[in-house]
Amino acid sequence: IYNNHREALDLLFENRPDNQQEIKGRIIKIIQKHPSLTLDHSTKSYIHFIPKELDFKELKVGAAASGWSEENRIMLFEIANDSRRIKMILAIGPGEKNVREKIYGIAIKHPEVFNKTKFALTPKWYTIHTEFRINDVEDEEIDEIEKKIDEKFYKFINDKVPKIIEIFKKEFVVK
């Protein structure tokens, strides 16, 4: 079949919808609408950002060549966007060991805010909090997915992020 209809099939494959790319664009727009957030390195599968109030120099000691952060941020929020689900986490990336350990220690001290601290700190990436997951996105319309992301995202930004900011500002004694 392919040999007989190569041009038509190639045209179809080249122009099929890319839901993952469309969702990435919509997630970025949601983040950009919130003036207190800063985008960082993003791909189709991973969108990174940080609240501006957490963007202080003590947390800009990440490993520059790791592909994790364009600004050497060691801690970022990450929205994982794959073909089946969307998930948002707060993660420690590669960087200075003592700062990574301090962030991990802060998360352990505050289990009421950070829900992923049961395991030992790993050497490169470590999730300290998982906020939301939207499953089965391949079966939903893009507009419906965006609505769910928007709803969960703004609830998180308004309810949980202020607590996270307060904890890190206090623990890092940022003025």
pLDDT digits (tens, 9 = 90+) for 30-49: 899 999 999 998 988 999 99
Any idea which residue has 């998982």 for tokens?
Answer: 130
Which residues lie closer than 8 Å to 43 by C-beta, 6 or more apart?
24
| Closest of 165, 92, 93, 157 to residue 129, by C-alpha | 92
Query: Phi-psi region for residue 98, left (φ > 0), alpha (ψ -120 to 50) or beta?
Result: alpha
Phi first, then psi, for residue 81 (nearest 5°) are -125, 95
Q: What is the pLDDT of residues 43-101, one digit of tens each?
A: 889 999 999 999 988 888 877 657 788 889 999 999 999 888 889 999 999 989 999 99
Categorize the per-residue pLDDT at 19 as very low, low, confident or very high, splitting at 50, 70 and 90.
Answer: confident
pTM: 0.84
Count the Cβ atoms, other than its own, within 10 Å of residue 174: 14
